[in-house]
Amino acid sequence: MVPTHQSQVISLNLFEKIIVRKVQAIVEHAEQQCKKNGVRLTEKRKHILAALLHSGKALSAYELVGYCKEQLGETIPAMSVYRILGFLQSQQLVHKLDLVNKYIACAHITCHHKHAVSQFLICKQCQRVKEINLRDSVIHSLLQEVYDTDFELDSPQLEINGLCGSCGKMK
């Protein structure tokens, strides 16, 4: 069933409201975490984190500058964005994807358990990113094999290019 234009608008608005509320909740959670760690999640930092959460995808530093300008009417210098991203990374609230030079909000901010190092599947078509945790057995054999070649890994963060389900189907 194809929805009418009218119903699309309504459901998009609803959807948007739900997202905004979710983002707020996550940001507040992050703020508490920061307080616990003796650091501050300032307004600017909240804006950047919220922007990443809201966009739902990986953004470059300069894309974040644009996002803040357009969505929040706030001009944040690129230098500040980089500093803030650095801070958010130090708090594990954001991860950098070196494969595409973009930044993404951690998918596990509100998880209470200590979360493992993640693997990232990056869709090279729509740029959406899925943060997954491979099974321990896979990680373990990977680490073991790398260790056997006389290399030490600090962490099994992996970034892998591919096509997500929906882009794959469109081929």
What is the SS3 assignment for 19-88? HHHHHHHHHHHHHHHHHHCCCCCCHHHHHHHHHHHHHCCCECHHHHHHHHHHHHCCCCCHHHHHHHHHHH
Report residue 118: phi and psi, to 5°. -105, 165
Q: Which of 29, 44, 115, 130 binds DNA (CB under 7 A)?
A: 44
Nearer Cβ to DNA (53/97): 97
Q: Are strands 94-97 and 129-132 parallel, antiparallel or unpaired?
A: unpaired
Q: Which of 79, 132, 146, 153 binds DNA (CB under 7 A)?
A: 79
Residue 127 binds DNA, judged by CB under 7 A: no
Residue 132 binds a copy of itself, judged by CB under 8 A: yes
Only segment of 7-15, 35-43, 105-113, 129-137 that touches DNA (CB under 7 A): 35-43
Nearer Cβ to a copy of itself (83/121): 121
| Alpha-carbon span 60 to 13, nearest angstrom | 26
Q: Residue 46 carries which side chain, given as an amino acid letter? A: K
Query: Which residues of this protein are in contact with DNA, per CB under 7 A?
Result: 39-40, 42-45, 60-63, 76-80, 82-84, 86-87, 96, 101-102
- Binding residues for a copy of itself, rule: CB under 8 A, are 98-100, 121, 123, 130, 132, 134-135, 137-138, 141-142, 145-146, 149-165, 168
